[in-house]
Structure 1
Amino acid sequence: MRHLGRAAVTAAVLLTLGGGAVVAAPSAAPAPTPVPFPSIGWQQRNCDYDGNGFDDVLTGAPGATVGGASGAGYATVQYSSSSGLSTTRKSVLHQNVSGVPGGAEAGDRFGGAVASGDLDNDGYDDAVVGIPGEDLVGLSDTGGAVVFWGSPTGLHGSDSTWLENDAPRAGARFGRAVEAARYFAPDPADPDADPRDSLAVLENDTLLFFTLPPGATARQPALAEQRVRAGDLAPSDAGFEFRNLSHGNYNEDSWADLAVSGVTGGEQPGVGTVRVLHGAPDAGALGDGGTFPGGPAVVSGDWDGTGQDDLVIGDTGAGSPTGGGITLYLGRGDLSGLEPEPAQYWTQDSPGVPGTSEAGDQWGAELSAGDTDGDGHPDLAVGAPGEDIGSVPDAGAVWVLRGDRTGFSGTGVRSFDQQLAAIPGTAERSDRWGGQVRLIDANKDGLFGLLAAAPGENTDDGFIWVVPASPSGLVGPGTWTYDGTRLGAPATDARFGAAVDE
Structure 2
Amino acid sequence: MRRWIAGLTVLGCVAISGPGLGGGKATAAEAACSGGTGSDYNGDGIRDTAIADPDATVEGKERAGRVTVVHGGGKGVTVVWQDSVNVATPAEAGDRFGYSLATYDADKDGCDDLVVGTPYEDVGAVRDAGYVQIIYGSTAGIGQGKVSKGFIQGADEPLGGVAESGDLLGYAVAAETSSTGIAYMVIGVPGEDGVGGMDVGFLHYVSGVSQQVVNVTQDSAGVWEDAEPQDRFGASLAATDRYFTVGVPGESVEGKTFAGGVSVFRPSLNTDGIPAPVFGFSQTRAPGSDASAEAADRFGTSVAMVANRTTAETAPTGALLAVGIPGEDVDDLVDAGGVALYRVNPDSTLTTVNNMLDQDYTDVEGVAAPGDFFGQDVALVNTAPTQVSSATTVKLAVGVPGNESSGEHLDKGGVQVFPAVGAAGASDVWREPGDGIPVDPAHQMFVGTSLAATPTGVLVGVAYESGQAPGAVYGFGWTAASGAAPSQTFKPGEDGIPTGGTAFGAEIQ
TM over 0.5: yes
Equivalent of 1:66 in 25, 43, 58: 58
The equivalent of 2:217 in structure 1 is: 228
The answer on 1:271 being equivalent to 2:256 is: no
The answer on 1:260 being equivalent to 2:246 is: yes
Report if the CA contact (8 A) 2:400-2:449 is conserved: yes
Cα distance between partner residues in 2 of 1:381 and 1:318: 18
Q: Cα gap change, 1:320/1:61 in structure 2, threshold over 3 Å: closer, same or farther? A: farther
> Deviation of residue 153 (structure 1)?
2.0
> Deviation of residue 157 (structure 1)?
5.6
* 1:19-34 correspondence runs (5 A): none
Aligned AA for 2:274? G
Aligned AA for 1:206? F
Cα distance between partner residues in 2 of 1:268 and 1:92: 44
> Deviation of residue 338 (structure 1)?
2.5
Report if the CA contact (8 A) 1:465-1:479 is conserved: no
1:140-176 residue CA offsets vs partner (Å, 9 max, x unmatched): 1111111111211221165212111232112111111
Q: Cα gap change, 1:153/1:410 in structure 2, threshold over 3 Å: closer, same or farther? A: same
Q: CA RMSD, aligned part only? A: 3.1
Normalising by structure 1, report the TM-score.
0.76
The equivalent of 1:50 in structure 2 is: 42
Q: SS of the residue aligned with 1:387?
A: coil
Where in structure 1 are there 5+ consecutive unaligned residues?
Answer: 3-43, 185-191, 215-220, 250-255, 442-447
1:365-414 residue CA offsets vs partner (Å, 9 max, x unmatched): 1111236899752111111011113311100111111244x3x4311211
Cα distance between partner residues in 1 of 2:247 and 2:350: 16
> Deviation of residue 428 (structure 1)?
0.6
Q: Cα gap change, 1:240/1:344 in structure 2, threshold over 3 Å: closer, same or farther? A: closer
The equivalent of 1:181 in structure 2 is: 176
Aligned AA for 2:99? G
Where in structure 2 are there 5+ consecutive unaligned residues?
Answer: 1-9, 12-35, 154-159, 191-200, 284-298, 385-389
Cα distance between partner residues in 2 of 1:206 and 1:337: 25
The equivalent of 1:458 in structure 2 is: 466
Cα distance between partner residues in 1 of 2:416 and 2:230: 33
Cα distance between partner residues in 2 of 1:133 and 1:236: 23
Aligned AA for 1:426? D
> Deviation of residue 330 (structure 1)?
1.8
Cα distance between partner residues in 2 of 1:440 and 1:210: 25
The equivalent of 2:452 in structure 1 is: 438
Report if the CA contact (8 A) 2:378-2:397 is conserved: yes
The equivalent of 1:338 in structure 2 is: 350
- The structure showing larger relative contact order (alpha-carbon pairs under 8 Å, at least 6 residues apart) is 1
Percent identity of the aligned residues? 23
* 1:21-420 correspondence runs (5 A): 46-81=38-73, 86=74, 89-156=76-143, 159=146, 160-165=148-153, 166=160, 167-182=162-177, 195-204=181-190, 205-212=201-208, 214=210, 221-224=211-214, 226-229=215-218, 238-241=229-232, 242-248=234-240, 256-264=242-250, 269-282=257-270, 283-293=273-283, 294-302=299-307, 305=310, 307=316, 308-317=318-327, 322=333, 323-332=336-345, 334-339=346-351, 341-370=352-381, 376-390=392-406, 391-404=408-421, 406=422, 408-420=423-435
The equivalent of 2:19 in structure 1 is: none
Q: Cα gap change, 1:230/1:76 in structure 2, threshold over 3 Å: closer, same or farther? A: farther
> Deviation of residue 449 (structure 1)?
2.4
Report if the CA contact (8 A) 2:132-2:169 is conserved: yes
- Number of residue pairs matched by the alignment: 421
Q: Cα gap change, 1:280/1:223 in structure 2, threshold over 3 Å: closer, same or farther? A: closer
Normalising by structure 2, report the TM-score.
0.75
Report if the CA contact (8 A) 1:451-1:464 is conserved: no
